[in-house]
């Protein structure tokens, strides 16, 4: 996975590398594998794109429940930012 010019082992770390108040599109290319993590893109990090080739899409999963996190916060991917783009991703939620 690449984003912000570096290599990251989680999607969350790649997102954290994007500066707050970013004003330019940042494309985070995600390797085709399974990621079991809760992903949140905060309001102060606009213009983020999570992207992968459609022939080999990654699986983004998280198994939190509404009882544990509340209805909204149990989601696998939460985007609060403006101008978010997600393309060619399998986003799954197990509970």
Distance CA 82, CA 37 (A): 22
- For the residues 66-95, what does the mean pLDDT come to? 90
pLDDT value, residue 2: 44
Answer whether residue 93 shows pLDDT above 90: no
Residue among 22, 21, 52 at smallest CA distance from 35: 52
For residue 95, what pLDDT band results from cuts at 50, 70 and 90? low
More confident residue, 54 or 2: 54
Cβ–Cβ < 8 Å for 25, 84? no
At 56, give phi and psi (nearest 5°).
Answer: -150, 70
Q: What is the DSSP letter of 74?
A: G
pLDDT tens track for 28-52: 999 999 999 999 999 999 999 999 9
- Name the DSSP class of 35: E
């Amino acid at each position: 996975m690449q984003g912000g010019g570096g290599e990251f082992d989680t999607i969350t770390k790649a997102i954290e590398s994007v500066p707050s108040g970013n004003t330019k599109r940042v494309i985070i290319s995600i390797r085709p594998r399974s990621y079991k993590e809760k992903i949140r893109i905060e309001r102060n990090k606009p213009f983020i794109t999570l992207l992968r080739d459609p022939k080999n899409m990654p699986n983004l999963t998280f198994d939190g429940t509404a009882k544990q996190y509340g209805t909204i916060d149990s989601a696998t991917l939460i985007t609060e930012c403006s101008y978010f783009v997600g393309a060619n991703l399998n986003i799954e939620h197990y509970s």
